[in-house]
Amino acid sequence: MYINCSEKELFVFKKIAHAAKDLQTPCYIIGGFVRDKIIGRKTKDADIVCVGDGIDLAHKVSERFNPKPQVAFFKTYGTAQIKLDNFEVEFVGARKESYKYHSRNPDVQPGTLKDDQDRRDFTINALAISLNDEDYGEIIDPFNGLRDLQNKIIKTPLNPDATFSDDPLRMMRAIRFASQLNFQIAEETLQGIKNNVERIRIITQERITEELNKILASNKPSIGFDLLYQTGLLHIIFPQMVDLAGAEYIDGKGHKDNFYHTLQVVDNISHNTNDLWLRWAAVLHDIAKPATKKFEQGHGWTFHGHEVVGGRMVPKIFTKLKLPQNEKMRFVRKMVELHLRPISLTKENITDSAIRRLLFDAGDDIDSLMTLCEADITSKNKHKVKRYLDNFELVRNRLQWVEENDRIRNWQPPITGEIIMETFNLRPGREVGIIKDAIKDAILDGEIENTYDAAHSFMIKKAGEIGITLNAERGTQNA
């Protein structure tokens, strides 16, 4: 075997080779497993292509293990899977494909190994390793994929226009691999993406977003997002992000390019977290700047309220991209809405009340928020960056001190709406909300202690101020 496999992997491949020999079916390891092994990238699955029936081969392989692993097979696609502990093997018969213009679903016919390699998306994914007696372990590389791996190049095996027109998702995959592997896309391949950019419209949003998430999960997501922008794909799949691009000048005053600022923030945060949703928060933290941009004479460009408007945009963007409409979306929205708050806390004479309010609003997500805010520092001035980071460290320390003393994080006022309604014989309504909010604000502002007795006394006082007494009848209030 010409690649560095573990003993377990070699053991599995020998079993496959023997089963294929029994069936007189030539078979090969192909695609991502070969690529990743050559470049030293971790992999937990392997694809096996055989010149024959992949499902039959999978069952034959399963019989050679004790206990026999279950074979999951899909007759429609002619594929089968076997899971062996943490290693998954997929089997498929070699095939050749032809496409119709308005569909990415190919007409498939049985084919040779060469036919199967011809249909692969990129040269680095067309590499195969023989599992046959006559040339066991040898690499079959018809498109110089080894050379492209060495040169860190992504290139289509055949004409890129045909490759991308046949299956437009390959354009997203090319950019995703460039981002994941830190490879360059060959000039003619990149031009092929630009030529066929409109073809992406026939791909389902779910498949597009899957590739977007993989780009965002890579070590340096800016590579992928910049390529999406340069090729024109981003203009179709995520136009709100494109709106961030460019800087406008009036009277010699300009603002920074918020698109490339965002890419820097995403890269910064990727150094500190693998949390996909915190990375999405980095992508969207300034998404409303185009909508809130305004030039003020004597001052310059402003983006007042972009955090609030951006928060409102998050659910719509998640809906369009078919991202989950659950606590993940709510987390991203919270991060976008709060991302300016810690910056205000770096100023002098900030009260404990402001600290308490941030802890109350952020809850358990306060550490994620601080990570986002630190990533938002993109100045090229190293002294300025150090000063900002030092200030944020002071904020972190103060947040910790206030939290230890007041225990505000995830805190709820000791007086609930139910207690207010029972005390004053009220039904749910505006008065209950006014009293409840007043109690919360009084505690957060340090006016009263965070205890039931103090809150109860304040409740009676506040109710009297708005004309509600203990003798009020249900649904009414006494002046």
**Residue percentage of the chain with pLDDT more than 70:** 92
Of 100, 119, 147, the position where a domain reaches its end is: 147
Does residue 304 share a domain with residue 364?
yes
Most confident region among 59-68, 345-354, 464-473 by mean pLDDT: 59-68
pLDDT for residue 204 is more than 90: yes
Q: What's the Cα-to-Cα distance from 176 to each of 213, 267, 277, 317, rounded to whole Å?
A: 9, 15, 18, 21
Distance from C-alpha of 221 to C-alpha of 379, rounded to nearest angstrom:
19
What is the tally of structural domains in the chain? 3
Does residue 358 share a domain with residue 318?
yes
Residue 89 lies in a domain: yes
Amino acid at 272: N
Start-to-end CA distance of the chain, whole Å, equals: 90
Does residue 352 share a domain with residue 456?
no
Domain extent, residue 454, equals 417-465
Q: Which residues contact 479 (CB under 8 A, 6 or more apart)?
A: 467
Residue 224 lies in a domain: no
* Sign of CA pseudo-dihedral 380, 382, 386, 387: negative
Q: What pLDDT was estimated at residue 478?
A: 43
Q: 118-133: per-residue pLDDT in tens?
A: 989 999 999 999 999 9
Which residue in 399, 420, 423, 413 sits closest to 443, CA to CA? 413
Q: What pLDDT was estimated at residue 474?
A: 42
Distance from C-alpha of 426 to C-alpha of 464, rounded to nearest angstrom:
14
pLDDT for residue 199 is more than 80: yes
Does residue 142 share a domain with residue 11?
yes
* Sign of CA pseudo-dihedral 391, 395, 396, 397: positive
Residue 74 lies in a domain: yes
Mean predicted confidence (pLDDT) in 28-38: 95
Q: 357-373: per-residue pLDDT in tens?
A: 888 888 889 899 999 99
Does residue 143 share a domain with residue 13?
yes
Residue 258 lies in a domain: no
Q: What is the pTM of this model?
A: 0.82
Does residue 14 share a domain with residue 138?
yes
Does residue 434 share a domain with residue 364?
no
Q: What pLDDT was estimated at residue 404?
A: 67
Most confident region among 86-90, 96-100, 346-350, 440-444 by mean pLDDT: 86-90
303 touches 293 (CB < 8 A)? yes
Residue 220 lies in a domain: no
pLDDT for residue 243 is more than 60: yes
Q: What is the CATH number of the domain that holds 25?
A: 3.30.460.10
221 CB-contact burial (10 Å; exposed 0-12 / middle 13-18 / buried 19+): buried
Q: What's the Cα-to-Cα distance from 189 to each of 120, 186, 234, rounded to whole Å?
A: 14, 5, 17
- Taking only Cα atoms into account, the Rg of the chain, rounded to an integer number of angstroms, comes to 30
Does residue 455 share a domain with residue 398?
no
Q: What pLDDT was estimated at residue 443?
A: 82
Q: Which residues contact 234 (CB under 8 A, 6 or more apart)?
A: 225, 228, 241, 242
Mean predicted confidence (pLDDT) in 99-116: 73
Q: 400-415: per-residue pLDDT in tens?
A: 777 666 666 556 678 8
Q: What pLDDT was estimated at residue 411?
A: 60
Residue 173 lies in a domain: no
Mean predicted confidence (pLDDT) in 386-407: 76
pLDDT for residue 476 is more than 60: no
Mean predicted confidence (pLDDT) in 438-449: 83
Mean predicted confidence (pLDDT) in 214-240: 97
Does residue 394 share a domain with residue 443?
no
The structure tokens listed for 469 are: 């007494």
Q: What's the Cα-to-Cα distance from 45 to each of 38, 69, 87, 119, rounded to whole Å?
A: 15, 15, 5, 20
